[in-house]
Amino acid sequence: PWRTEAQGHLTVDENGDPKTDYSRWRLKDDHGRQTWHYLEIDEENDAWPQTVADKYHLGLPTDLPDLPEATTPLQAAENGLSFFSHLQLEPGNWACEYGGPMFLLPGIIITYYVTNTPIPPEYAIEIRRYLFHRQHPVDGGWGLHIEAHSSVFGTAMNYVTLRLLGVSEEDARMVKARGLLHGFGGAIYGPHWAKFWLSVLGVMDWDCVNPVPPELWLLPDWVPFAPWRWWIHMRQVFLPMSYLWSKKFTHPLDPLTKQIREELYTQPYDSIDFAAHRSSISDTDNYYPKTWILNTANWFLVKLWNPYIRPSFVTKRAEDWTWELIRMEDENTDYAGLGPVNNPMNMVACYLHDGPDSYSVRRHRERLNDYMWVKHEGMLANGTNGVQIWDTAFITQAIVVAGFADDPKWRPMLTKALEFFDDHQIRENVPDQEKCYRQHRKGAWPFSTKTQGYVVTDCTAEGLRSTIQLQEMHGYPRMISADRLKDAVDCLLIMQNPSGGFSEYENARGSEKLEMLNAAEVFGGIMVSHDYPECTTATVTALSLFSKFYPDYRSDEIQAVKEKAVRYIKRVQRADGSWYGSWGICFTYAALFALESLTSIGETYATSDYSRRGCEFLLSKQKEDGGWGESYLSSERHVYVQHQNSQVVQTAWACLALMEAEYPNKEPIRKGIKLIMSRQQANGEWLQEAIEGVFNQSCMISYPNYKLYWPIRALGLYAKTFGNEDIF
C-alpha cells in the first residue's frame, strides 16, 4: 500500500540493500523532543548543516582532531569531556540511541499498517536495513533483544515487519528466517504479545490469544488484583490491549496479509486449530512460564465467562471506562504515551474509536516519530522517547566529580544543562490524577522529558542532585528555586514503600503474589512495582546532599526515611556482599549505587561491614587485565556471570564504587583506571562494547552514553582521591 522507495539519493549497503544518503539526515531537538529528518531537497539540505552530533550518531566520521595524548587520569577525563561536549544539543541535553529490545519496531510498523498511515520511504528503507543488520548470522532469526538467542517472538514479529515493509518472501534471508520459525513450530508458539499483534494485523485468529478482559477495570479498588495496582507498564499496555481484544479489532484481509498468513505457520492457515494453541509457547521464549492460577483463570474466561456469562452491558461499561482511561493517558502525555508499546496500541484504539482522520490519530502519527532513531545500521525504535534527563544528569555529575565544574571552559555547557533541568522539572500533577491512578508528580524529574511526564524516583534524585551541585556547590545561576527543590523532596518522601525500599514510578500498590498473574511469558517481575536497590540508594544519596544545604527542611522526616531505606538496602544485600541490579548489568551496577549511598550516611569500608563486604565482592570479580566485565546473563540468571571481555563501563562502575566506599588499597583501582585509559581513542572517545542496561530481567537495552560519562567520572574521582599521577 505504500511507496517504499525514496525518490533518489539512494546507494546500496554492504548487504546489497538500498540505503539512504546519510549526509541528509538531521536530528532535531525541539525542547528535548528528538526527531530525525531526511532532507531530500538540496536547498534544505544545504541550509541546515549536519552537526558533529548528527554525524556521530549516524556513524559518519566526525573529523574531530586527535587530542594531546593523556598520561594522567585527569588528562584522559578532560579529553573524554572535550569529545563529549561536541554532542550536547541546543536545549542543553545529550541524546543517544536507546535500542536493544527487538519487539518495539514490529508494534509500530503493524500500527502504521492497520491505521493506513503512510510510512515515509526513508523510514522503510532504513528499518529494513536495521532488521537485516540485526538478523542472527547463523540461524537467521531474531531474539528478544539484540544480544539474545533467536526466539519465536523476535523471529515472527520481525519477519512480519520486513514483509510489511516490502521485502519479498523469496529473499534468501527471509527464507532462512521462515525456516527457523517453522522449526520452532510456527507463530502459534509465540508469546501473548506476538499473538495479540498478529491478530490485530489479521494474520492470526483472535482465538489464539489468551483473554485480556477489560472487565478487570471495573473491579473495585479494594480488590487485591485490580489493575490500578499493577506495574505501570503492564497496566498501560493491558489497557489498550484489553480494549482492542474486547472489540476484536482486526485489519481487513488484503493480498499481502493473505500471503503472510501462509508464511507464518507449518500448515495451511485455514487448517489450523487456533483455539487449541492459545497457551502454546516455545521453550526459547518461555522465560516466565504461566502459573496454574493464570491457566485456571484463562480457562474460566474462555470456557465459561466469554461464551455463557459475559453480560453485554458489563462489556459496554468496561469498554467505555477503558476508553476513558486511554484518552486520559493520551491527553496527559500529548499523545507521546508512557512508552513505545502502549503508544502505538493507543493509536490503534483511537483509530477504532475516533476514526482515521481524527485529531487523536493524527497526533499519534506525529508522536511515533519521537521514538525513532537512526544509526549506522539503519533505523530502530527507542525504548522511550529519549534518555534526556538521565544522561544530562550523569554527565553533569561526572563533570562535577572530576572537578571541572568551576572551569570557565565548561561553564556555558553546564549552564545549558541546568536550563534543561529547569525546563523539564514537572511543575504540576496531572488533572484528575486519582481518576486515572497517577502518582503525585509535582516537583519530579522524568527519565526523558516533561511531555512524557512520568515521575521516576531515581531520575528525580539525580535531577535534584545535579541541580544542587550546580546551583549550591558551584555558584551557577539559581534557575530552580528552593521551593522547587523542596517539591522534588516532597515527591520523593511519599514514594517510600512500607518495606523501606523505593520503586521507580509509583508506590507499591499490590502484593508480590500478583506475579502469579504474569501473562507475558517473556519477562519476569512485571506485575507490580517492586523495591529496587538502585532507586532506593539514589534517593538516599540525593536526600543526604539536599539536607546538607537545607538542614531545616523536614529534617526529621528525611532522617527517618533514610534510616528505613538503609535498613532495606542492608537487608537485601546478599550473603556474598552483592546486590542484584535491575536496570543496569547487573551486580556491578547495583554495587555502585549501594556503596555510594552507604558512604552518604557515613558508612564506608573502614566503618561498615556492609560496605566492606560490598567491596570484597567487587574485588573478587576483577579480571586479569585489571578490568571488570559482567555478562547480561547475570540479569537473566540472578548469579554473577563473567563477560569474556572487560568492559569500560563496568570497570568504571566498579572503580567508582570502590573509591566511593573509600576502599584503602589503590592498586586494584589503578589497574582498572589504566584499562579505561588504554581503551580511549585519540579523539577522546571510547568505543561501543557490550550492552549496558536491562529491564524485566530478560530484556537488555543500550545506554551508549555510559561509555563516555562513567569513565570520565571514574578518572576524575581517581585523580581527586589518589592524586593525578602518571599512569601511562
- Give whichever of 208 and 535 is closer to ligand LAN, judged by the CB atom: 535
Phi-psi region of 193 (alpha: psi -120 to 50; beta: other; left: phi over 0): alpha
Residue the block writes with cell 573529523: 63
Nearer to ligand LAN, 100 or 214 (CB): 100
Minimum separation from the CB atom of position 258 to ligand LAN (A):
30
Q: Which of 17, 285, 458, 531 is catalytic?
A: 458
Shortest reach from residue 341's CB to ligand LAN, in Å: 4
Residue 458: active-site member: yes
Nearest approach, Cβ of residue 523 and ligand LAN (Å)? 6
DSSP letter string, 532-576: -HHHHHHHHHHHHHHHHH-TTTTHHHHHHHHHHHHHHHHHTS-TT
Q: Output 237 or 648, the one with its CB closest to ligand LAN.
A: 237
> 108 vs 301, which CB is nearer to ligand LAN?
108
CA distance linking residue 303 with residue 280, whole number of Å: 17
Beta carbons of 152 and 242 less than 8 angstroms apart: no
* Cα–Cα nearest to 638, from 629, 630, 649, 627: 630
591, containing H or E segment:
helix 587-600
Give least dist CB 137 to ligand LAN, A: 26
CA distance 96 to 119: 23
Taking the complex as a whole, the smallest distance from the CB of residue 289 to ligand LAN amounts, in Å, to 18
DSSP label of 215: G
Minimum CB distance to ligand LAN, residue 705 (Å): 12
Query: Nearer to ligand LAN by C-beta: 261 or 367?
Result: 367
Query: Of the two residues 274 and 373, which places its CB atom closer to ligand LAN in the complex?
Result: 373
Provide CB contacts within 8 A for 142, sequence distance 6+.
Answer: 102, 131, 134, 135, 136, 150, 151, 154, 155, 157, 158, 159, 177
Please, which contacts does 251-254 make with residues 24 or more away whose CB atoms are closer than 8 Å?
251/113, 251/114, 251/200, 251/201, 251/202, 252/202, 253/202, 254/1
Question: How far apart, in Å, are the Cα atoms of 310 and each of 175, 274, 295?
Answer: 43, 22, 19
Query: Where does this chain bind ligand LAN (CB under 6 A)?
Result: 233, 237, 339, 341, 383-384, 390, 447, 456, 458-459, 504, 523, 534-535, 583, 695-696, 701
With respect to ligand LAN, which residue has the nearer C-beta, 105 or 669?
105
The one-letter code for the residue type at 129 is: R
> 461 or 618: whose CB is closer to ligand LAN?
461
Read off the DSSP letter of residue 115: T
Smallest separation (angstroms) from ligand LAN to the CB of 703: 8
What minimum distance in Å lies between the beta carbon of 505 and ligand LAN? 7
The rounded distance, in Å, linking the Cα atoms of 45 and 32 is 22
DSSP reduced 3-state for 165: coil
Nearest approach, Cβ of 101 to ligand LAN (angstroms)?
6
Helix ranges (DSSP H) in 18-151: 42-47, 52-58, 73-85, 104-114, 121-133
Q: Which among 376, 372, 377, 382 is positioned nearest to 134, based on CA atoms? A: 377
The percent helix, strand, coil of the chain (3-state, each to 5) is: 50, 5, 45
Complex with ligand LAN: residue 272 or 459, whichever CB lies closer: 459
Pairing of the two strands 378-381 and 372-375: antiparallel
Give the Cβ contact number of residue 555 at 10 Å: 11
**Residue 368 near residue 379 (C-beta atoms within 8 A):** no
Q: Which of the residues are catalytic? A: 458
